[in-house]
């Protein structure tokens, strides 16, 4: 059977992708950001996941005001990196495990989580930057990726509780897929940041660290955080953190924190990263 073995949370700041692509990772500004991912790069090389369910948000690249799916799962065989205004990043195409993606879509929808099924989509920095952070610059990504896109750009985004519940439904879907697969789930975005308006540049390290603590200590508390608290405490883009709760919900009750990294700033953002292992 397929099994979820671990979860990864990470920021997906686009400037991180540019720093990797332009060979700047060892420059004084960037080195402390990337140093915090060295542990994970070694860990994931040993873990060798077959599939990553990668929860991210599209930033008005593939979806605009015409269509705003709350939860979308990409089910086609492969995807290209999106052109976000400077041409597509020169990173490999992304290949899906389409059978598992369709199975997750069916299982979640019959489990009353009404996913939008997407068969044609280019993938922006929300998905490609985490892959670069974890795998560096390979010719091919070393595993299959199932993209799950969450609307956190246009009000109203889903509640953290709904995201957590979707994670639990994704876990039920994976556990009922009859192929021996090592599956990881990643949640991306965050941590505190606000990109526009009078509070642009807002960062709240205390709140962010408490959020990271409570992924293991009190996930029920995280489920109950209302939108207004994300906005007030973490800025308008801090709401991206609800995507981490899909990852957390999919891991079940017993987990272990293996690694944590927190650094301010990268671009306008507090970079957070955590590795959680499912305790079986």
**Residue 13 touches ligand DHB, criterion: CB under 6 A:** yes
State the DSSP code for 81: B
Applying CB under 6 A, among 8, 9, 12, 104 the residue interacting with ligand DHB is: 12
Contact flags string 219-248 toward ligand DHB, x per CB under 6 A: ------------------x-----------
Q: Tell me which residue of 57, 58, 70, 60 sits closest to 158, measured CA to CA.
A: 70
CA–CA distance, 259 with 242 (Å, rounded to integer): 20
Residue that has been written with the tokens 């996930």 in this structure? 219
Applying CB under 6 A, among 69, 229, 267, 277 the residue interacting with ligand DHB is: 267
Q: Tell me which residue of 146, 9, 131, 145 sits closest to 71, measured CA to CA.
A: 146
- Looking only at residues 142 through 201 of this chain, which bind ligand DHB when binding is defined by CB under 6 A? 189, 193, 195
* Shortest distance in whole angstroms from residue 195 CB to ligand DHB: 6
**Catalytic site includes residue 125:** yes
Contact flags string 58-87 toward ligand DHB, x per CB under 6 A: -x----------------------------
CA–CA distance, 237 with 195 (Å, rounded to integer): 7
Residue that has been written with the tokens 């922006």 in this structure? 124
Applying CB under 6 A, among 14, 17, 167, 272 the residue interacting with ligand DHB is: 14
**Catalytic site includes residue 261:** no
* Shortest distance in whole angstroms from residue 270 CB to ligand DHB: 9
Catalytic residue among 12, 59, 125, 261: 125
Number of residues that bind ligand DHB (CB under 6 A): 12
Is the CB of residue 139 less than 8 Å from the CB of residue 92?
Answer: yes
CA–CA distance, 88 with 112 (Å, rounded to integer): 36
Is the CB of residue 145 less than 8 Å from the CB of residue 225?
Answer: no
What are 72's strand-pairing partners?
116, 149
Please choose, out of 13-21, 43-51, 104-112, 175-183, the segment that lies near ligand DHB by the rule CB under 6 A. 13-21
What are 147's strand-pairing partners?
54
The residue (of 181 and 202) whose beta carbon lies closer to ligand DHB is 202
The SS3 call for residue 183 is strand
Residues that bind ligand DHB (CB under 6 A): 12-15, 59, 189, 193, 195, 237, 267-269
> Which residues are designated catalytic?
125, 193
């Amino acid at each position: 059977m397929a099994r979820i073995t671990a979860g990864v949370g990470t920021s997906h700041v686009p400037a991180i992708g540019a720093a990797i692509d332009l060979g700047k990772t060892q420059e004084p500004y960037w080195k402390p950001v990337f140093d915090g991912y060295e542990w994970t790069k070694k860990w994931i090389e040993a873990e060798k996941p077959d599939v990553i369910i990668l929860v991210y948000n599209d930033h008005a690249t593939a979806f605009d005001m015409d269509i705003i799916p709350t939860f979308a799962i990409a089910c086609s065989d492969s995807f290209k990196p999106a052109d976000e205004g400077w041409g597509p990043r020169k990173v490999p195409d992304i290949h899906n495990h389409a059978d598992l993606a369709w199975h997750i879509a069916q299982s979640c929808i019959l489990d009353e989580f009404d996913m939008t099924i997407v068969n044609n989509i280019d993938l922006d920095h929300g998905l490609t930057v985490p892959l670069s952070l974890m795998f560096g610059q390979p010719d091919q990504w070393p595993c299959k990726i199932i993209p799950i896109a969450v609307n956190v750009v246009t009000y109203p985004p889903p509640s953290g509780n709904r995201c957590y519940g979707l994670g639990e439904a994704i876990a039920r879907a994976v556990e009922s897929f009859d192929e021996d697969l090592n599956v990881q789930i990643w949640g991306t975005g965050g941590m505190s940041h606000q990109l526009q308006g009078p509070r642009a540049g807002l960062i709240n390290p205390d709140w962010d660290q408490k959020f990271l603590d409570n992924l293991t200590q009190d996930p029920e508390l995280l489920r109950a955080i209302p939108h207004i608290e994300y906005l007030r405490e973490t800025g308008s883009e801090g709401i991206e953190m609800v995507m981490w709760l899909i990852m957390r919900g999919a891991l079940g009750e017993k987990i272990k924190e293996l690694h944590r990294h927190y650094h301010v700033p990268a671009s306008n953002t507090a970079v957070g990263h955590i590795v959680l292992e499912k305790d079986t």
